[in-house]
Each structure stands twice: as structure tokens, then as C-alpha cells.
Amino acid sequence: MAKYPEQFGLFDSYGSGDGIRILELGAGTGLLSILCRKLLDLKAVTDSSSSPRTPNHRGQAEEPGKGLIVATDFLPEVIDNLKTCVNLNFSGETGIEIAKLDWTTFPTYMATHSQSRNDNSGKGEGADEETSQFMDKSFDLILASDCVYDETHAKMLREVVSWTLRLPENGDEGGTFVGHPYLFLFFPFSPSSFRIRIPDIIPYHQ
């Protein structure tokens, strides 16, 4: 990904509208989020498009076209370490948002919230889901690395992705990485990974 970022669609939405929206699941130390932020920043410099940051609708500083990167995990100590790792890799504003995401409750929250919004009945239950603040739009690119250890994890991840990944649109070029939303799931080849049979749970090109 570091060597060929364009093959992962990292620059597809770059410079158009609000830029690409990236979500990292089970971020751990945040390596993928940090890598994406560095690559996007480098792209901004080489394209001479690094303009002063202006506050977005949440009052947070962003640069036009630089997109949104949200790194998520669950345990408080992991979140704390994630913040430390991100801060150590940047001086000043990191350009990476960090939030807790509970795979066991987030899909239910989204379903309830979606139903209550359709019924005009308020926010619904589970309003404390941190990642929901970034769900004004779905994500163009979802990344997850070494965070699926059994079939239960894979099924939960699939449910989270079904609520967070943008659906293909008429302008997307289906079958290519150009403008098309994608989930990239990285995991080591090992006896356990073959036992999980991830492709049976999360089919390719689903």
C-alpha cells in the first residue's frame, strides 16, 4: 500500500469535494491510518494544494480536499496507545480522528438510529456511539489489518462494514478501483486464517 497507494484507491476522491473518507477498524497502533495520512499529505505537497486549514462543521481543522481519516478501536488502553502513536508521528494537527467503535453494539445503534430517523422519533438508543459523529456520510475506503481471529470477528466486521462503507454510485467504475468504494482486509497467511475461511463470510467484490 505504501509503494502503490493509487492501486488501493487512496487518491481517487482526492481534490474533489471534501476528499476521500477513510475508516480504519481495529486500528491498534494506527499504522494504516498514519500511512494514509502521510501519503495524502505528501500528495498535497507534490500537487501544490496545501492551503490553510479551515474549520469544518464540527469545528475541527481540515484542509480542502484532504479528506477524513478515522482510526477506531475498542479497549480504552488501546485507544490511549493509538492516540500516542498518532501524536508521535505528527507535529501539531494530526489530521486523524480517533474514536471508540464497539463492533457488538454499533450495527444495532445504526439500525435503531436509522429507523428512528425515518420515523422522526428522535435519535433512538445508543447515542453514545463515538463513531456516529462521523457518519454524516459513508466511507469510501475501509481498512482492517490483523483484527479477525475467528468467524465471530469476521461476521461482526461484515456487519460494521455494511453500515459504514459507501454503496457504489452511478459514477463509479465497477470492477476497478477508480472511484469505487472498497474494503481492504489484511491478515497473515497462517493455519488459523485458513480455518476461518474469511472469503466465505466476506466474499470478494461483495
Domain boundaries, the chain: 19-43+63-201
Give the count of beta carbons closer than 10 Å to the beta carbon of residue 92. Answer: 7
Longest dimension (CA), the chain: 50
Using an 8 Å Cβ cutoff, are 2 and 39 in contact? yes
Looking at residue 187, its pLDDT comes to 75
Q: Which of 6-10, 38-42, 68-72 has the highest mean pLDDT?
A: 68-72
Residue of higher predicted confidence among 167 and 62: 167
CATH classification code of 19-43+63-201: 3.40.50.150
- Please provide the DSSP assignment of 177-204 as one string: STT--EEEEE---SHHHHHHTHHHHS-T
Model confidence at 92, pLDDT cuts 50, 70, 90, reads confident
Report the distance separating Cα 52 and Cα 54, nearest Å: 7
Report the distance separating Cα 44 and Cα 35, nearest Å: 14
Print burial letters for 44-70: b (CB count within 10 Å at least 16), e (below 16): beeeeeeeeeeeeeeeeebbbbbbbbb
Of all residues in the chain, what percent carry a pLDDT higher than 70?
68
